[in-house]
Structure 1
Amino acid sequence: MSTPDTDRLEIRALVENWALWRDAGDWDRFATVWHPRTGWMSATWFQVPASEFIAASRTGFENGVSILHFLGGHTADISGDRAVAQTKMTINQRADVDGVPVDVVCTGRFYDFLAVHERQWKIVRRQPIYEKDRLDAVDPAASLSLDPALLGRFPIGYRHLGYVQTKAGFTVREGLPGLTGAAVETLYREGDEWLAGSIAPGTPLR
């Protein structure tokens, strides 16, 4: 029989497995962290069912797209067979911008809606919260000039990440949740409703 403490340990392990298995390209095990019927991922570059996110991540991995994740502090609110977890994270991507190799680092949180499926916790919906980012040339001596109009399209929390991903050919969604603002307040409300028994985990961004 599970307890709040064992549930929290299992949820933390699930979140850590997401990052390790995705970044290592362990696609079969990566698929097991998601709810098989309703898993949904909203990233800057893709807002799709988990199965499509796995396929796109695998294609990118095999084509040399370098996106890595590092995790920090974690908390989980649990209500019966549902939970909402928040985990500090950074997204690290290496790419070329106008011929200059760069690293972009975005700091934020993974905000996860979870449910028990066949006696195991699974991610029903993941919505990152983007708090701040920065962009550096891999070679400190390199010169890089950014397009202010393109940079200004994206919120402050993922401005440089959105810039780099757009330059790499991705279609980056605007208006994703940041540290403050209407988008993150909506997300928090959806999390509270999920814990209270709502039919769906809010309205996943599409």
Structure 2
Amino acid sequence: MKEIPNVPTGFEDRLALRELVENWAVWRDAGDWDRFATVWHPTDGWMTATWFQGPATEFIAVSREGFDRGVSILHFLGGHSVDVHGDRAIAQTKMTINQRANVDGVEVDVVCTGRFYDFCGRYDGEWKIVRRQPIYEKDRLDVVDPAARLELDPELLNRFPAGYRHLAYLQTKAGFTVKAGLPGLTGRAVRRLYDEGAKWLAGSASAGDTE
């Protein structure tokens, strides 16, 4: 009989971190707000998105309000990589953000592809998300009805980085204030994020820029 190989060091942590990221997407999109709150660090949780930057508690509240109004934002997850150092970790997970809305009288879907970049910490023996910073790599906009026609305002579209300009266009039209200069596939913002991640693993006092 073959000997069963030893479980790799840190396997349980890596499995728990993957489950944490998956729970975020499932519970948020399902509107399971009580369980969604459990994925975040209870005092330091911070969320950055195109349309929101602030404490996780506020993000949960405004997400719930939008969900109840019929705001349609869904998330799908792909490949996952994690670096663990003691009670800290950086998790990167391929994802898409899918939002449906009405733009100038035309129903559209925007799909934005990128990564969730999560600063995680162990709290009372369980992994929690301390800070989530999406990296926006590319996006596209499609009309739901193939027969419909939509003219985009090029000035508004080009106000935002290529990685999320269509998502920002839709959200601006929907009345959100969208933050410019968020991390993309390349550039200064994502290099700074990687540097903050390395410092987090090395024991920095904070999880980087939460402005």
Taking structure 2 as the reference length, the TM-score comes to: 0.96
Match of 1:183 in 2: 189
Which amino acid counterpart does residue 36 of structure 1 have in structure 2?
P
After superposition, where does 1:42-61 map in structure 2 within 5 Å?
A: 42-61=48-67
After superposition, where does 1:67-146 map in structure 2 within 5 Å?
A: 67-146=73-152
Mapped partners of 2:209, 2:117: distance in 1: 14
Computing the radius of gyration from Cα coordinates, the structure with the larger value is 2
| Residues 118, 3 of structure 1: alpha-carbon distance in 2 compared, 3 angstrom cutoff | farther
Residue 153 of structure 2 is aligned with which of 144, 147, 151?
A: 147
Mapped partners of 1:30, 1:155: distance in 2: 30
Taking structure 1 as the reference length, the TM-score comes to: 0.98
**Structure 2 unmatched ranges of 5 or more:** 1-7
Which amino acid counterpart does residue 22 of structure 1 have in structure 2?
R
After superposition, where does 1:15-26 map in structure 2 within 5 Å?
A: 15-26=21-32
Secondary structure of the 2:164 match is: helix
Match of 1:38 in 2: 44
Mapped partners of 2:188, 2:146: distance in 1: 37
Match of 1:163 in 2: 169
What is the aligned length?
Answer: 204
- Cα deviation, residue 29, structure 1: 0.1
Match of 2:205 in 1: 199
Which amino acid counterpart does residue 193 of structure 2 have in structure 1?
L
- Cα deviation, residue 182, structure 1: 0.1
Identity %: 74
RMSD value, Cα: 0.9
Mapped partners of 1:141, 1:154: distance in 2: 28
Secondary structure of the 2:75 match is: strand
**Structure 1 unmatched ranges of 5 or more:** none
Which amino acid counterpart does residue 163 of structure 2 have in structure 1?
G
Which amino acid counterpart does residue 187 of structure 1 have in structure 2?
L
Secondary structure of the 1:140 match is: coil
